[in-house]
Amino acid sequence: MRLYTAVILFIICASTTNAQWLTKDRVQNNQNYDKSLISWGYYFGVNSFDFDFDYIAEQEDIQVERTLGFNVGVVGNLRISEYIDVRTEPGLVFTQRNLQFSPDPRFERESDLLREVPSTYIYLPLMMRLKTKRLNNVRPFVSFGVATAVNLSSNEENPDDNFSGTFRTTSSPFFYEVGIGIDLYLQYFKFTPSIKGVFAASDELVRDDRPNSPWTSNLSSIQSRGIFLNFTFQ
């Protein structure tokens, strides 16, 4: 199932949940949970990444085949007020993008048209979460923040470039992110499905050593962008 389908299902489930849980008063679970100054948890989820390309001169777009990756990490939450939290969710993000280049006389083999770009990020976000008033056992929120990451698969220091089959990216990109989600207060814990978009704020391209490279010579910058669908337990 592609991530976009999962996002649509998430929205449908959230709407159904609201309709069922908010129509009448219910016994509130974990009534004092949000009064803790600091709380902890963990999450797992899936992601889908692509690249945004900026070209020096006009050319046919590089096509990006996105694959479904996954995320796992821990949560640290600091309560600022009844409606505001500061939060960090460090974790590991695994994803891969396959780049399909247009034919070019400089390509020597057909295999040169395809470059696989695997990425393993140590993802370190810091975000602010703005929450609504709790309604029975449901509490929607929006979040926004910034993140730094370490890409363990970047190949930035690798002397081999595209002429040896390796598409290189920087090892320390920066991101900003926005998201929405719903806290669901269950009997023994809080469960939070959420969706967020992440967008690189820095150029991630490591250019090939030869200035006439058919892969990188016409690229001004490349920046990651992706969608995370996470499930958090606290």
pLDDT in tens, the chain (234 residues): 445 454 445 555 544 544 444 445 567 787 778 888 999 999 999 999 999 999 999 988 999 999 999 999 999 999 999 999 999 999 999 999 999 999 988 988 999 999 999 999 999 999 999 999 999 899 999 999 999 999 999 999 999 999 999 999 999 999 999 999 999 999 889 999 999 999 999 999 999 999 999 999 999 999 999 999 999 999
> Global pTM?
0.84
Q: What is the pLDDT of residue 21?
A: 47
The whole-angstrom separation of Cα 5 and Cα 63 is: 21
DSSP state of 205: B
Nearest residue to 160 via CA among 213, 219, 93: 213
Of 39, 128, 53, the C-alpha closest to 86 is 128
Question: For residue 11, what is the enclosing H or E element?
Answer: helix 3-21
What are the sequence ranges of the domains in the chain? 3-233
CA dist., res. 165 & res. 99, Å (int): 12
> Which segments of the chain are extended strands (E)?
38-55, 63-66, 68-79, 84-88, 91-100, 114-131, 138-151, 174-185, 190-200, 219-233
Q: How many CB atoms lie within 10 A of CB 135?
A: 14
Q: 167: which residues sit within 8 A by CB, 6+ positions away?
A: 99, 115, 116, 117, 155, 215
How deeply is 81 buried, as exposed, middle or buried, from its count of CB atoms within 10 A (0-12, 13-18, 19+)? Answer: exposed
End-to-end CA distance of the chain: give it in Å, rounded.
Answer: 27
In this prediction, residue 1 carries a pLDDT of 46
Domain 3-233 - what CATH class?
Answer: mainly beta
